[in-house]
Amino acid sequence: MITLKVNGVTRRFDGDPEMPLLWYLRDLLELTGTKYGCGRGLCGSCTIHVNGVQVQSCVTAIGSADGKSVATIEALGANVDHALQRAWMKNNVPQCGYCQSGQLMTAAALLKEKPKPTDQDIDTAMAGVICRCGTYQRIRQAIKDAAEVAL
């Protein structure tokens, strides 16, 4: 039996421990904010946090999360009150929106590690999340704006 805490709620799973964490979150818990992109951990759309560290849930086995805390985009701010969410809206970041949960979760991890990131810090951290619409400049500005507000 695998036990993990997802967005603050204790969950148990008695299935295949090699199942990607993404499928558990989306299909069984119906937390569909985390997106499937490439299935190989390359695009970043499926980024979540496990014990505060960002991981690609499409290539992370649920068994590796046993006894750990998992945070998805749904935990970032259900009331759209997180500084990153407000900055995203202010800067009109999303176009198609598909990568945005991965972008936001990656940005949250960056700001946790570096509360006042430089452009280079932002570019390096965000390089793992592909935006097909090319809104990288707006993403960078939104992260800068969020960094100005106490998270």
What is the reported pLDDT for 80?
A: 75
Taking only the tens of pLDDT, the chain with its 151 residues reads: 999 999 999 999 999 999 999 999 999 999 999 999 999 999 999 999 999 999 999 999 999 999 999 999 999 877 777 899 999 999 999 888 889 999 999 999 999 999 999 999 999 999 999 988 889 999 999 999 999 985 5
Containing domain of residue 55, as a range? 2-76
Last residue of a domain, one of 32, 60, 76: 76
Domain match, 9 and 67 both? yes
Tokens of 104: 């936001």
Domain match, 63 and 102 both? no
Domain match, 27 and 49 both? yes
HSE at residue 35, side-chain half, CA atoms within 13 A, is 19
What is the reported pLDDT for 5?
A: 98
Residue from 6, 136, 125, 151 nearest 73 by CA: 6
Domain match, 42 and 99 both? no
Tokens of 63: 């068994």
CA 91 centroid distance within chain: 19
- DSSP one-letter string for 63-121: GGGTT-EEE-HHHH-TTS-SHHHHHHHHTT--SS-TTHHHHHHHHHHHHHH-SS--HHH
Number of folded domains that form the chain: 2
Side chain identity at 71, as an amino acid letter? A
What is the reported pLDDT for 20?
A: 98
- The answer to pTM > 0.95 is no
